[in-house]
Amino acid sequence: MIISTTAEAVRTTVATGSGTDAAAAWTCLVRRGMLHSECEAVEHWLLPHGAVLTATPRHGVEEALLVLDGRLLVTTASGERAVRAGQLALIPHGCQARLVADSDAVRLITVRTLATSVTDRLPPRIPELVSA
């Protein structure tokens, strides 16, 4: 397994609500293939105020968003919710969501997992036993 730290983030550009781009920091902490699970990825994000991320059904995953610092606005077909530091938002498979950093800086962890419709078709996972 590869373990990363949040100290060496990749600088990336994300859209803002005003139509301009902003610099964000992104670190992939775990990626599928590194774990024996249905986890797609665990990522750390540092978003400036107004930065926008989207979740679309074509991503084919379910997401958990854990806000570490700041306030994130999560908008789905059912409405808009503010998610503050220490709170968790769940985005089910097939849901369209818009995530907007609504404070000076938002730091969050995203956990993406394969949807049940995918994992139900996978063969059972049985760890291999190695004799010494």
Please give the pLDDT value at position 42: 85
CA distance 104 to 120: 41
Is 5 among the domain residues?
no
Is 74 among the domain residues?
yes
* Closest by CA position to 61, among listed 92, 88, 98, 27: 92
The confidence band for 60, taking pLDDT boundaries of 50, 70 and 90, is confident
Enter the pTM of the model: 0.72
CA distance 105 to 91: 21
Q: Checking phi first, is residue 38 left (phi over 0); if not, alpha (psi -120 to 50) or beta?
A: alpha
Is 60 among the domain residues?
yes
Is 50 among the domain residues?
yes
Write the pLDDT tens digit of every residue in 69-121. 999 999 999 999 999 999 999 999 989 999 999 988 999 999 988 887 777 77
- Whether pLDDT at 15 is above 90: no
CA distance 119 to 121: 5
Tell me the residue range of the domain where 105 lies.
25-118
Output b/e per residue, 48-67; b: 16+ Cβ within 10 A. Answer: bbbbbbebeeebebbbebbb
Is 42 among the domain residues?
yes
